Structure 1
Amino acid sequence: MTNHLDILLDMLSALPDPVFVLTESGRYAALIGGKDRQHYHDGAHLVDFSLYDVLPKAKADWFLEQIKITLEQNQLRIVEYGLAGADVDGLDTQQGPEGEIWFEGRVQPLATPVNNERAVVWVACNITRRHQLEAKLQLLSETDELTGAYNRRKLLDALTLSLASFRERQTPVAVVLMDVDHFKTINDRFGHIAGDEVLRGIAHHAMAHLREGDLFARFGGEEFALLLPNTALDVANVIAERLRQAIASGNFLPESHPPLVVTASMGLSLIQPQDQAIETILRRVDNALYRAKNSGRNCLVVDG
């Protein structure tokens, strides 16, 4: 006669996703399922170890925090997180997926204590493909199709966050608006395809020289914007001026075209303590850009 307990254990061990029992102190009490080595590593050795025995402290802190929140709320919680096999001490990384894996964790309190501790059951589902698709779609929604730079929407979102950060921490944030000089003349003389090449060339040139954390966006038409977090006015001035000079000395059309000198006018300003909305910042930078155009173009005007 078939033993129903054996059937139940076989069913649990055959679960496609790994199911962990984790105690309130962060100890692995049990692990079942997750046998598919295309999607998961073998974590059987984790049982009886603490999160802090096998994970970097920052990651262990995060997992322990999720356990405690779940126990406090006493309800199912769903979290997403990235974890690579190399992050977990003792895993055989040859028998499992490479690189960082993205998981959806379904964390549910257990009614019965485990080893005299409150505990949760944590089901980890591999959502790497979904995460990659979402990241790709997010990038597409934030990217200008022609130039590959960020688009106006992304810039406005980033500027909104920068304003909030400035009001909280008072770290300097610089904003630059840049307009390609006489762009209509370029289109009229060389055609719109050549004009597109100029815009692409400027964007690729600018993005290649950005620092980590800087953001370059196509603001609209032949106008671009540069957001420089944690950047004092004198440093922002140097960065913008260097870019302006690089554009003036660059060659943005194929050799089949006649030589073309491309220049840009720029306006620069910092976020100010009195700024309550990003429209105020953009208006001030736009005024500086307008003054640059009225000063003969191919120059940088700094507001404040």
Structure 2
Amino acid sequence: MSDAQDLLLDMIAALPDPVFVLTESGRYVALLGGHDRQYYHDGSHLVDFTLNDVLPAEKADWFLQEIRTTIHQNRLRIVEYSLAGRDVSGLPTDTGPRGDLWFEGRVQPLANPINGERAVVWVASNITERHDLQGQLQTLSETDELTGVYNRRKLLAELEQNFAKFQRYHTPLALLIFDIDYFKLINDQHGHLFGDQVLRDLAQQCQSQLREPDTLGRFGGEEFALVLPNTELKQALQLAERLRLDCEQMRFASTTNNAAITISIGLSVATKTDRDITDLLRHTDDALYRAKHAGRNCVKYRTPDTGSPPSMDL
């Protein structure tokens, strides 16, 4: 064997990331490199098996689609995907990384067929640390540091997304804006650290009342907003009243005495006259203003554009 061939074999064996050769039918033809068990499992047993032999049907179908798209487009494609050791049948999991892993796949079509089939080279790079860091940074950018709920920017993005669904599919959408009554007095009497704790406890209490698709965010200061997708006015009012009563019953222990709070709530549902979220926000803010001027500790809402206000049984 020549020195050039020896060098080529050494280079292939030393490839840091695993390189798969896969046919358009999903058969593993070869696996090269990727021997660092800190980042990759030993997948040598996969050769001559198919994706459908070793992967759950949904994941196998996804890989097959990516392979066939790459062959059809005849160009390099880059994809990101999640795959854990437990997803691959027969993979030894006593060595190698644990848990859910994220990979960047660089998929390149081969010029010549293998046993009559088109094929691709698939280089899988473990990007789990980068993916997790990106997730953490995104969470930080979307979260209010004090209360742990979403911040204003994320809240408006969720409202925009749900308003687009309302316009396209006419799915109901409700918005609540509420704030703590006389919050300045709480800070003046008990201090700002106590006021911060009130905000945290209030956010936690409200969050515990919500459904998975609902979005709670701190709008600023002592003001919060709540986006309620697929929610009609009657259901939104029932939730608003429940939140108001829950907050009224909360007690906060300070160094001097116990404190109580109340909240005022403005509510609006999206209607066909709303051109964008600015209109919906304005109507909801107007309802909050009326709640404040009605004596606070109450819920006010914009009535629908057509028909009578709903009969409420709160």
Bin for the TM-score computed over the shorter chain: over 0.9
Q: Tell me whether 3-12 or 122-131 shows the greater mean CA deviation.
A: 3-12
- What secondary structure is seen at the aligned counterpart in 2 of 1:175? strand
Deviation at 1:184, TM superposition (A): 1.4
**Residue matched to 2:271:** 272
1:46 is the counterpart of 2:50: no
Provide runs of 4+ in structure 1 moved above 4 Å: none
Instruction: Work out the CA distance in 2 between the residues paired with 1:26 and 1:174.
Output: 47
Task: Quickly say closer, same or farther: Cα 1:150–1:35, change in 2 above 3 A.
Answer: same
Change (3 A) 1:135 1:298: same
Following superposition, the deviation at residue 282 of structure 1 comes to: 0.9
For residues 94 and 272 of structure 2, the distance between their equivalents in structure 1, rounded to whole angstroms, comes to: 54
Which residue in 1 is equivalent to 2:13?
13
Structure 1 gap segments, 5+ residues each: none
1:124 equivalent in alignment to 2:136 = no
Query: d(CA) in 1 for partners of 2:16 and 2:180?
Result: 56
Q: Report the CA distance shift for 1:173/1:183 in structure 2 as closer, same or farther (over 3 A).
A: same
Rounded Cα–Cα distance in structure 1 between residues aligned with 2:300 and 2:261: 18
- Paired-residue identity, %: 59
Q: Which amino acid is the alignment partner of residue 296 of structure 1?
A: G
Structure 2 equivalent of residue 135 of structure 1: 135
Letter in 1 for 2:261: V
Deviation (angstroms), 1:155: 0.5
Shift in CA distance, 269/114, structure 1 to aligned 2, threshold 3 Å: farther
Deviates more, 1:36-45 or 1:138-147: 36-45
For residue 168 of structure 1, what is the aligned residue in structure 2? 168
> Alpha-carbon deviation of 1:102?
0.8
What are the superposed Cα offsets for residues 118-152 of structure 1, whole Å, 9 maximum, x if unpaired?
22111111111111111111111111111111100
Distance 2:115 2:70 in 1: 18
**1:275 to 1:24, Cα distance in 2 relative to 1, 3 A:** farther
Task: With the length of structure 2 as denominator, give the TM-score of the two structures.
Answer: 0.90
Report the AA paired with residue 46 of structure 2: L
- SS state of the match for residue 100, structure 1? coil
Once residues 48 and 241 of structure 2 are traced to their aligned partners in structure 1, the CA distance between those partners, rounded to angstroms, is 60
Equivalent residues in 2 for 1:169-188, closer than 5 Å: 169-188=169-188
Map 1:23-34 → 2, pairs under 5 A = 23-34=23-34
The worse-fitting range, judged by mean Cα deviation, of 275-284 and 140-149 is 275-284
Paired residue secondary structure (2:83): strand
Task: After TM superposition, list the pairs within 5 Å mapping 1:178-217 onto structure 2.
Answer: 178-217=178-217
How many pairs does the alignment contain? 303
> What runs of 5+ residues in structure 2 fail to find an aligned partner?
305-314
Kindly tell me: are residues 271 and 117 of structure 1, through their superposed partners in 2, closer, same or farther at Cα, counting changes over 3 Å? farther
Q: What is the RMSD computed on CA atoms of the aligned residues?
A: 1.8
Does structure 1 retain, via aligned residues, the 8 Å contact 2:194–2:254? no
1:99 is paired with a residue whose SS is: coil
2:115 aligns to what? 115
- Separation of aligned partners in 1, 2:49 and 2:192: 64
In structure 1, the residue matched to 2:88 is: 88
Query: How far is 1:88 from its partner?
Result: 1.6
What's the counterpart of residue 307 of structure 2? none
Structure 2 vs 1, CA of residues 198 and 87 (structure 1 numbering), >3 Å: closer, same or farther? same
Match of 1:245 in 2: 245
Q: Which residue of 1 aligns with 2:310?
A: none
- Please give the alpha-carbon distance, in whole angstroms, between the structure 1 residues aligned to 2:84 and 2:239: 37
Aligned residue in 2 for 1:235: 235
CA distance in 2, matches of 1:256, 1:215: 33
Read off the aligned partner of 1:168 and give its amino acid letter.
R
Which amino acid in structure 2 is aligned with residue 27 of structure 1?
A: R
Q: CA deviation at 1:12?
A: 1.2
Say if 2:159 is the partner of 1:159. yes
C-alpha displacement of 1:228: 1.8
CA drift of 1:167 comes to 2.5
Q: 1:60 to 1:199 in 2, by over 3 A?
A: same
1:187 shift after superposition: 1.6
In structure 2, the partner of 1:224 is: 224
What do the CA deviations read for 1:139-174 (whole angstroms, capped 9, x no partner)?
111111111111000001111111122233322222
